[in-house]
Amino acid sequence: MNGSTISKFILLGFSCSHIAQLFLFVLVLACYTTALLGNFVIMVTVWSESKLLQSPMYFFLANLSFIDMSLGSLAAPKLVTDLLNSFSIISYGGCMVQLFGLHLFGGAEMFVLTLMAYDRYVAICHPLRYTSIMDRQRCFSLLIFCWTGAFIHSTVQIVVLAQLPFCGPNVLDNFFCDIPQVIKLACAEIYVVEILMLISGGLITLPNCLAVLVSYVIILASFCGRFGKGGRKALSTCSSHLTVVGLFYGPMVFVYLKPFSHSQVDKMASVFYMVVTPALNPLIYTLRNQEMKGAMGKLNHKCKLLLLPQRE
């Protein structure tokens, strides 16, 4: 045992007016529903269309959609119900599970976004070798590496956190369990733990950010002097991916670069990357993507045929 005497945490949620909470309730419910439906449609479309499934870009996109569904489901369902109450309670075990899932799926998303940037780099800068470099076996191996890295990262975070004793207080000024705030409730010296958490987070975040930046610097440099129809299509794909990267990393940087701030603005930024971003990603990847829209049209036609009554 780690000496903990508390079995639950109180989540204060949002300290705003009843009207504002109702607005947030509608927003979160709409975003979560969109995230589930949009990402599920992308997964089904990719897996039902063999041409898309054989493409590394869409194969990774289907995995990104699964991650977004999972990441959005960590806090959104509870937040929807909690917005109708003044505060919420989460068990110690539930808090640890939420933290593990947050770092598992958050870490996996970082790796997969980096993997998608690498895929675009190979496709644009080495088009003749693309199929040999990004073959099916290598794609699976890279994806296994992504999930393994995310699992190790989240396991380290939880194992370190589980060693801390919690004797009270047990109030978190947030709508979900967040490691920086949970650590500060421990009745023990936390300096070494904070350093370990910082190192663990830095080892996964910094290399992924740098890899994405380097990939796109090289891609943009390769566009100079050869910007034709193919270049415009490639740039459209890259801009969609960069938008998703910005939406994912932007709010996280805003929140975690100010670990001692617990303002309502920080909570809204957390809502953005945990609830809103998973809903926006499928829209970003499908609105200007003709292949996805065409495949969705085929899938919709097949579904209609299956639902029509069969004539004898």
Q: Tokens representing 183?
A: 């650590």
- Give the architecture (CATH level 2) of 8-297: Up-down Bundle (1.20)
d(CA 39, CA 60): 13
Domain ranges of the chain: 8-297
SS3 188: coil
- Cα dihedral across residues 81, 86, 91, 92: positive or negative: positive
Q: What are 91's strand-pairing partners?
A: 8
d(CA 273, CA 254): 11
Q: Tokens representing 86?
A: 């003044």
* CB neighbour burial string for 230-261, b if at least 16 within 10 angstroms, e if fewer: eeeebbebbebbbebbebbbebbebbbeebee
| SS3 assignment for 261-310 | CCCHHHHHHHHHHHHHHHHHHHHHHHHCCHHHHHHHHHHHHHHHHHHCCC
Tens-digit pLDDT profile for the chain (312 aa)?
566 678 899 888 887 777 888 888 999 999 999 999 999 999 998 888 888 888 898 999 999 999 999 999 998 998 888 888 766 899 999 999 999 999 999 999 999 999 999 998 998 888 889 999 999 999 999 999 999 999 999 998 899 888 888 887 888 888 888 888 888 888 888 888 888 888 888 888 889 989 998 998 888 887 765 555 555 666 667 788 888 888 888 887 777 665 545 566 778 888 888 888 899 888 888 876 777 778 777 777 777 666 665 544
Enter the pTM of the model: 0.88
Q: Tokens representing 109?
A: 């998303």
Q: What angle do CA 274, 35, 204 make, to 5 degrees?
A: 40
